[in-house]
Amino acid sequence: MPPVQLTRRFTARYILALTAIALLTLAGNLLAEGVLRRHRDDARLLNLAGHQRAHAQRLGKAALALQLAEDPRDAQRWQAELRDTLAGFAASHAELAGRLDHGPELRARFAALEFDVQALESATRELLAHSESQSGVRLAGPVQALVRHVGPFYARMDEIVAQLEAESAAGLTTLRWLAIGVLLGVLVTLVLEGVFVFRPAVARLTQEIVAQSRLQRQLLDAVTAEQQRFGSDLHDGLLQQLTGLSLLIRLQLTRASRGAALEAKDLTQIGGLLDEAISEARRMSRAMMPVVLEQKGLAYALEDLVKQAGASGRVRCTARIALSGRIPEPSKSNHLFRIAQEAVQNALKHSRAAELELAVSVDDEALELRVSDDGIGLIAPDGTSRTGMGLRTMEYRARAIGASLQLEANKPRGTLVRCRLPHTYAWDGTGGDSPELGRSAAR
């Protein structure tokens, strides 16, 4: 997988893990906020229930004090106490009823309490009415009626308070388990993130480092081998030609010193040897660094590469190059050219092709270089590549410039080498390449 796609995949997984953690934390906070709000409401209800119980107790106490009062001024004071306490009792009950939004069981208990509340309010009003004209033992009946309802009211209110406390405690337990659940969810997400994000990333990075180290050693070996091959070619080719040319010139000098005349055929032979030496030097120079790439740009260099490949006439080579004015900087153009050069050489050496095509195109995302042939293919039946070090060198060059390299089976037969360079690379503003070259062929 190309490094860019690999990075995108790991980044997407990492963002997904962070999103999961954020959602878990947000959900936990929202649920915790709801539980705490409910706990706060329960505390308010418990406070109201306590106030109503206190008011009921004060009603009973004020009623007994009113019955026992002998001084008219004390009786008036306890009457005022009864009225104020009754108003507070009614207000607490109304607020309690308005805030009670719990389950059906608590509502049923509160509905059963309603009878005692109304009985207490009615008995208190009746006592107040009788106290305007009566006092002492004559108030015993209304007082007993009021006190008789205080006990059942306390019992039912205690049940309501106990249930509120139980539900509040259950809410706190739920909050505790919720916090534990969110923590476990975050821990599980972090573990999954480590297993599916960081561990593969570290493993892939380790593989890349090992592969790069191995490739660098292979490249050093390849450079050494290439230097030896170049020295051998220089010794067996150009040096032999120059040596033969030197011997021929010395022979002619010796003959001339003896008074012999130089013949035209001898000069023609010398000229032919010079031409061969120049051609061999030019060939070796192109192999080391194509001058046309530096002088005329990538498009012309690729065009010249195709012409040189088809010069023997064994393979029909064609080029379709359309850069549309978007030209990579020189260093990247050199790597692209070397990739194309290696792909063409591999096709000529291994594919047994009759036709070869080199194409360059530009789309909205990348520059794409394609080298295809109709030969036996560079992929063996077992799925391995036939190119060996050549393919690894192309992959190394592609990674060096941030490109992706793929070796595919061509249709209907043959091999396709595809290299895509994203539009993140710098552009050469020199205009050395023509924006678009037409189809060319060299036989």
Residue 246 lies in a domain: no
Supply the range of the domain harboring residue 372.
Answer: 293-442
Helix segments in 258-383, DSSP class H: 264-288, 291-296, 298-309, 330-346
Smallest CA-to-CA distance from 301 within 316, 312, 291 is with 291
Task: Evaluate if residue 439 carries a pLDDT over 70.
Answer: no
**Residue 254 domain flag:** no
Last residue of a domain, one of 176, 201, 226: 201
Residue 105 lies inside a defined structural domain of this protein: yes
- 386, 379 in Cβ contact below 8 A? yes
Tell me how far apart the 2 most distant CA atoms of the chain are, in Å: 174
Determine the angle formed by the axes of helices 239-257 and 264-288, rounding to 10 degrees: 160
Per the structure, the count of domains in the chain is 2
Please check whether residues 59 and 163 belong to one and the same domain. Answer: yes
Q: Got the DSSP string for 206-262?
A: HHHHHHHHHHHHHHHHHHHHHHHHHHHHIIIIIHHHHHHHHHHHHHHHHHHHTTPPP
Same domain for 173 and 303?
no
The pLDDT-based confidence of 381 (bands split at 50, 70, 90) is low
Q: Are 318 and 439 in contact (CB under 8 A)?
A: yes
Q: Which helix (H) or strand (E) holds 157?
A: helix 140-193
274 lies in some domain? no
Per-residue pLDDT at 70 exceeds 80: no
Judge if 68 and 197 occupy the same domain: yes
Domain containing 347 — which CATH number?
3.30.565.10
pLDDT tens column, 172-189:
788 788 888 888 888 888
pLDDT of residue 370: 95
Q: Are 109 and 158 in contact (CB under 8 A)?
A: no
Q: Looking at the structure, do residues 21 and 161 belong to the same domain, yes or no?
A: yes
CB atoms within 10 A of CB 150: 20
Residues 131, 108: Cα–Cα separation, whole Å: 35
Do residue 183 and residue 310 come from a single domain? no
**Rounded CA separation 68/328 (Å):** 109
Percent of the chain at pLDDT above 90?
Answer: 8
Q: What is the DSSP letter of 415?
A: E
Domain at 69, CATH number = 1.20.120.1730
Average pLDDT over the chain, rounded to an integer: 79
Lowest-pLDDT range of 6-15, 53-62, 79-88: 6-15
pLDDT computed for residue 4 by the predictor: 59
For residue 154, pLDDT over 70 is answered with yes
For residue 322, the SS3 value is strand
120 within domain boundaries: yes
Residue bearing the bigger pLDDT, 221 or 124: 124
Angstrom CA distances, 272 to 242, 248, 252, 277, 278, stand at: 12, 12, 15, 9, 10
Instruction: Label residues 201-233 b or e (16+ Cβ within 10 Å = b).
Output: beebeeeeeeeeeebeeeeeebeeeeeeeeeee
- In a domain, residue 263? The reply is no
Cα→Cα distances 189→7, 26, 59, 149, 402, Å: 20, 14, 60, 59, 32
**How confident is residue 367, by pLDDT bands cut at 50, 70 and 90?**
very high
Q: Are residues 314 and 169 located together in one domain of the fold?
A: no
Choosing from 164, 179, 201, the residue where a domain stops is 201
What is the residue-wise DSSP string for 174-185? HHHHHHHHHHHH
Distances (CA, A) of 433 to 319, 324, 328, 357: 15, 10, 10, 20
Q: What is the DSSP string of 47-68?
A: HHHHHHHHHHHHHHHHHHHHHH
pLDDT band at 361 (very low <50, low <70, confident <90, very high): very high
Residue at which a domain ends, from 201, 222, 242: 201
What per-residue confidence (pLDDT) applies to 429? 45
CA distance 250 to 243: 11
